[in-house]
Structure 1
Amino acid sequence: MAHPFLVKDIAFQAGLSTATVDRVLNGRPGVRRQTEMRVKAAIAELEKQAGADVAGRKLTIDIVMETPDRFSTAVRAAFETEVATFLPTVFRCRFHFAEVMRAAELVQLLDRIRLRGTHGIVLKAPDVPEIVAAVARLDVADIPVVTLVTDLPNSARSAYAGADNRAAGETAAYLIGRLLGASGGKALVTLSSGRFRGEEEREIGFRRVIRAHYPLIGIIEVSEGHGTDAATGTLVAAALADDPSINAVYSVGGGNRAVLAAFEAAGRPISVFVAHDLDADNRVLLGERRIDFVLHHDLRTDARSAFRAIMARVTPVIRTAPASFSAVEIVTPYNMPTSQ
C-alpha cells in the first residue's frame, strides 16, 4: 500500500496502534477487513490534508457523528473545504461516522479519543446522560467539545454550531399550513430518533405553530428510523395504513426516498413535502419536483464556527466572534445553490 506518510501519522489518524498499521501496510495475515478499511481511510484523509500542511500551528480535531451516510458525506466535504480558510493554522480532521451507534459505543469512542489525545471534538450525538457524562470528562481533560446540528445544552460542551432548530420547525409549519390552508388534513412528521435534541426542537417548533395557527391540520409522528431508508420506509408505510388522512410530510430526520416510495406504494398523494438539508439525495428530489421545499443551512458556516470555537479554547489569546446560529434558507427548485 504505497503512501508518503509515517506509520505513526497514519496510526494517529486512524486511531490504531503503529503495530496494527504496520501489519496492514505490509499485508500480514490476521487483520480484519474493517481495520484495513480504517487504515485506507486514514491515508486518504492525510492525502487530502497534505496540501494545507504549511508552516503554522497544527490542530488535530475529531468529528464524531451518528448520522446517515448522505449527511456525513456533506459534513466531511464542508470541513475539508473550510480547513484551508484558517491558514496558517492547520486543522487535521479525523472522521468517525456511523449511521447507528449505541450510546455505549459512542461513549467508548469519546473516551478513547480523550485518552489518545486531541485538540477538540465536534460532536453530533443523542442528548442522553451517558453522552453528557462523557463530555464532562472531556472538559475536565481540557478538550473542547463543539456540538454540531443537534445540541447538548445541559452538558459541558464549549459551543454549538448549527441552525436554530426550533425556528426551522416553525418555518416548516408555516409552509405546510399556508399551502394546506382551510382544506386541512394531517402532516406526517418523520424523525430519525427522539434522542436527538435538535430533532426534538424542530418538532416542538412545528407543533407550536400548527396548534396556534392551523387547527385543521393534525400531526402524526414516526420515529426511530435513524434516517435509513429501510427502517424509515417501514414506519411510514405503517402510518399510512393506519391513517387515510395523511397528506403532507415534514421530514425532520431524512430517508426521503423511502418516504416517497411508501406514499407511492400506497397510492397516496402528497400535497406538500418539506425536508431538511440540501444533501445529494434532496438535490435530486427537489430538482425532480418530488419534494417541495428544503430547509437548508450552510454546513461550511457550521464548520467555521466549530473551528473558531476550538481555536478560542485551545489558544485563548486568539479572539474570535461569538458563535451564532446558521441562517436557515428555504430552497426551491428555482433558487437551489450550485454547491454546498
Structure 2
Amino acid sequence: MNVRRKPTMDDVAKAAGVSYATVERVLNGRGGVSREKEAGVLDAARKLKLDRALHEVSVRWLRIAILTQKPDSPYYAALRQGFELAQKSFETYRVLCSVTFFDDLEPRSLANVIARASQKADAMIVVAYEHPLVVDAVSAVAKKIPVVTVASDLPDSGRLAYVGIDNRVAGRIAGELMGRFVGRDGGQVMVIAGLRTYLGHEQREGAFRAVLRRRFPACEVVATVESREDERSTERLTREAFRKYPELSGIYNISVGDDGIARALKALRREQQTVLIGHELTPVSRALLIEGVMDAVLDQSPFVEAVRAVEAILGHYNRGAPSGLPLQTPISIYLQENLPAEF
C-alpha cells in the first residue's frame, strides 16, 4: 500500500533552487534572505502544499513608504485613515505602513521626498502629479522596489500598479450630469481643477469637455482655473469667475474646496441658479447636497483605494491571499435623494 509522503523543507529547497538553510530562514521568519529568494521559497512551498500556515509566513517586516499630501482635505484625511486600517488588517503579514506627507507641492520638493523615503523601504505607495522631475524620481525608485500609484497615475514611471477610479469615466459622468442639469438652453460652465499636472485631473477635465462638446453643445466651458489643492482659494476663484461671467450656469469642481464655492454662490445669490458638481462625499459635500447647493457628488472611496494599494504590494511579495477585488475602484454618484446613512 502506497502512502503519499508529506513534502519536507528539503523538497521545497530543491524546487526553489536554494539551500535548506534558506528555506528554514524563510519559513521560520528569521530574516536575512533576499526578496527574490523569499518569493521563490514561498511559491514552492505553496505549490508543494507544505503543511504550514504559509499565509502567515514572512521573512521580515515589510516596510511600505506611503507618500501623500497633508491630510488637510477630506480626501487625504480619509486616505490616511484607510492606510491606518490597512496596517491593522494586514498586521499578520508583518506590514509596516509609514506615511510621509509632502512638505509642499513643488516638483523638486516632491522628488526629494520620494528619493529620501525610498531609502529604507521595501515598497512605495505614492499620490503625485505628472512632472518630469517627479516621474524621474518615481522611475528611479521603481527600478529597485515596487511602486503603486493611487488616485492619479504615473504610467511612464515603471510603477507596479495604479489603484483608483478611471478618471476619464468620472469626467464623462460629470459632463453628462452637467449637461442634463443645466438643460437644453445650455449656458456657460467653469471647471476648477486642483493641479492640471495631476494626470487624474487632466483626464477628468478632458473627458468632461468632450462630453459637453459632443452631446451638449449649448454648454460652453468658458474657463478652467486651478485651486492648487488649496481649499481656501476656491471662494476667491468663484467670485472672480462671476465678475467675468455673471450668468455662469455651472461649476465642475474636480478637487477640493466645495465649501468655498458654496460660500461664494450664496453671497452672490446664485446657489439655486448655478449647478455645482464635485468629488468625494464628505460631511461638507453631504450638507451641501442636503441644502441643495450642490447637485451631485462623485465618490471614489479612498478607504478602499488605500487597502487595495497595500494588497497590491502584498501580492508582489507573495504575502496573503489575494482578495480578487479589482485595482480600478468603482465610482459612486450621490444626489440629494440617495445619500447613505451617516455614521
Give the TM-score of the pair, scaled to structure 1: 0.77
Q: Which residue of 1 aligns with 2:23?
A: none
The answer on 1:314 being equivalent to 2:342 is: no
Measure, in 1, the Cα distance between the counterparts of 2:315 and 2:123. Answer: 11
Match of residue 198, structure 1, among 195, 200, 203: 200
1:124-135 matches, cutoff 5 A: 124-135=127-138
- CA drift of 1:101 comes to 1.8
Structure 1 residues 280 and 313, CA gap change in structure 2 (3 angstroms): same
Deviations 1:47-84 (A, max 9, x none): xxxxxxx9966322222123661221111112222333
Measure, in 2, the Cα distance between the counterparts of 1:326 and 1:306. Answer: 11
Deviations 1:10-47 (A, max 9, x none): xxxxxxxxxxxxxxxxxxxxxxxxxxxxxxxxxxxxxx
The answer to whether the Cα contact below 8 Å between 2:118 and 2:124 also exists between their aligned partners in 1 is: no
1:138-153 matches, cutoff 5 A: 138-141=141-144, 143-153=145-155
Q: Which residue of 1 aligns with 2:244?
A: 242
- The amino acid that maps onto 1:286 is L
The answer on 1:161 being equivalent to 2:124 is: no
Give the TM-score of the pair, scaled to structure 2: 0.76
- CA drift of 1:223 comes to 2.7
Percent identity for Structure 1 against Structure 2? 29
- Tell me which moved more, 320-329 or 163-172: 320-329
Deviations 1:133-155 (A, max 9, x none): 111111222x2111110111111
Match of residue 184, structure 2, among 174, 182, 187: 182
Aligned positions, number: 285
Measure, in 2, the Cα distance between the counterparts of 1:259 and 1:305. Answer: 32
Match of residue 292, structure 1, among 259, 283, 295: 295
Q: Which runs of 4+ in 1 moved over 6 A?
A: none
Q: Structure 1: state its 5+ residue gaps.
A: 1-53
Measure, in 1, the Cα distance between the counterparts of 2:223 and 2:328. Answer: 26
- CA drift of 1:162 comes to 0.4
The answer to whether the Cα contact below 8 Å between 1:123 and 1:145 also exists between their aligned partners in 2 is: yes
- CA drift of 1:124 comes to 1.0
- CA drift of 1:169 comes to 0.6
The answer on 1:62 being equivalent to 2:65 is: yes
Measure, in 2, the Cα distance between the counterparts of 1:168 and 1:78. Answer: 22
SS in 2 for 1:211: helix
The answer on 1:95 being equivalent to 2:99 is: yes
The answer to whether the Cα contact below 8 Å between 1:69 and 1:99 also exists between their aligned partners in 2 is: no
Measure, in 1, the Cα distance between the counterparts of 2:336 and 2:325. Answer: 33
- CA drift of 1:297 comes to 1.7
Structure 1 residues 281 and 62, CA gap change in structure 2 (3 angstroms): farther
Structure 1 residues 326 and 139, CA gap change in structure 2 (3 angstroms): same
The answer on 1:76 being equivalent to 2:51 is: no
- CA drift of 1:122 comes to 1.3
SS in 1 for 2:278: strand
Measure, in 2, the Cα distance between the counterparts of 1:91 and 1:288. Answer: 43
- CA drift of 1:168 comes to 0.5
Q: Structure 2: state its 5+ residue gaps.
A: 1-55
The answer to whether the Cα contact below 8 Å between 2:143 and 2:158 also exists between their aligned partners in 1 is: no
Q: Which residue of 2 aligns with 1:271?
A: 274
- Tell me which moved more, 79-88 or 166-175: 79-88
Measure, in 1, the Cα distance between the counterparts of 2:191 and 2:297. Answer: 14
Structure 1 residues 335 and 317, CA gap change in structure 2 (3 angstroms): closer
- The amino acid that maps onto 1:103 is P
RMSD: 2.4
Structure 1 residues 239 and 158, CA gap change in structure 2 (3 angstroms): same
The answer to whether the Cα contact below 8 Å between 1:68 and 1:227 also exists between their aligned partners in 2 is: no
